Amino acid sequence: TFLAPLASPIIYLFLGGFIVARAAVKEGVDASLASLVLRLFQGRPRLVMLGLMIATATFSMFMSNTATTAMMITLVGPLLVQIPKDDPVRRGLLLSVPFAANIGGMGTPVASPPNAVALGVLAESGLAISFGAWMLIAVPLGAVLLVIAWLLIQRLYPAQTAGLHLQPITSRLTGRGYVVLAVALSTIALWLAA
C-alpha cells in the first residue's frame, strides 16, 4: 500500500532527470554549453542577456530550476565585473536568470516536481500525456514568454553605458563530459520517443 506509488513511471522519469542533471553538473557539461551559447551572443548587453536567458531556459527544462539558477548566476559574475556599478543593466542580467529558469521549468515533465505530479495525476485520471506531447504544448508557450520577459527586462533595466562590450568566460568539455553529453542526448531522445 505504501510502496506502490514508488513504482510509478513518473517517479523513475524524474529520477532519471536528476541523475542526468547531476552528471552534467559534475563533469562541467552545463558550464561548457552555457559558455558556448554566451560566446555566440557576446557583445552588446541586450544580446548577452538574450543568450543567457536562452541557455538558462534550456537547462532548466532538464534540471531543477534552483540548480540551473545557481549554475547560471556563477556565469553572470564575470559579466557583472565588466559593467559599471551604477548601470541598471547589471540588475537586468541578474534578474534574467531566475525569470528564464522559471519559464524553462515549464518545458518538460522532468523540469520541475509540480510538472511530474501533474503528469501523474493526469495519468491516474485516464489522460496519459507523453513527454513529447508535453513539450509540444509547453515549449512554444515558454518561447513566447521568454521573449516577453526579455523585452520587459530590457525596458525596465536598459544599458546606460555607451559602447559596452561584454566578454563571457570560456569553459571547455572534457572527455568524460562528452560521454555525459552523449548519454544526456540519448536519454532525451528516448524520452521524446516514448
- pTM to 2 decimal places: 0.76
Dump the DSSP string for 66-77: HHHHHHHHHHHH
Average pLDDT (129-148) is 92
Q: Are 142 and 107 in contact (CB under 8 A)?
A: yes
SS3 (DSSP) at 43: strand
Q: What is the DSSP string of 120-188?
A: HHHHHTT----HHHHHHHHHHHHHHHHHHHHHHHHHHS---STT--B--------HHHHHHHHHHHHHH
pLDDT in tens, 94-107: 999 999 999 999 99
Instruction: State how far Cα 127 lies from the chain centre.
Output: 27
- Note the pLDDT of residue 168: 67
Using alpha carbons only, what angle is made at residue 33 by residues 27 and 38, rounded to the nearest 5 degrees? 140
Residue 7 pLDDT greater than 80, yes or no: no
Per 3-state DSSP, the chain is made up of helix, strand and coil in percentages (nearest 5) of 70, 0, 25
Give the model's pLDDT for residue 75.
75
Distance, in Å, from the CA atom of 179 to the CA atom of 143, rounded to the nearest integer, reads: 29
Instruction: Classify the C-alpha dihedral 8-10-13-19 as positive or negative.
Output: negative
- Percent of the residues in the chain that have a pLDDT greater than 90, as a whole number: 20
pLDDT for res 9: 73
| pLDDT tens per residue across span 64-96 | 787 788 778 877 877 787 888 888 988 998 999
For residue 59, pLDDT over 90 is answered with: no
* pLDDT at res. 194: 65
Q: What is the pLDDT of residue 99?
A: 95
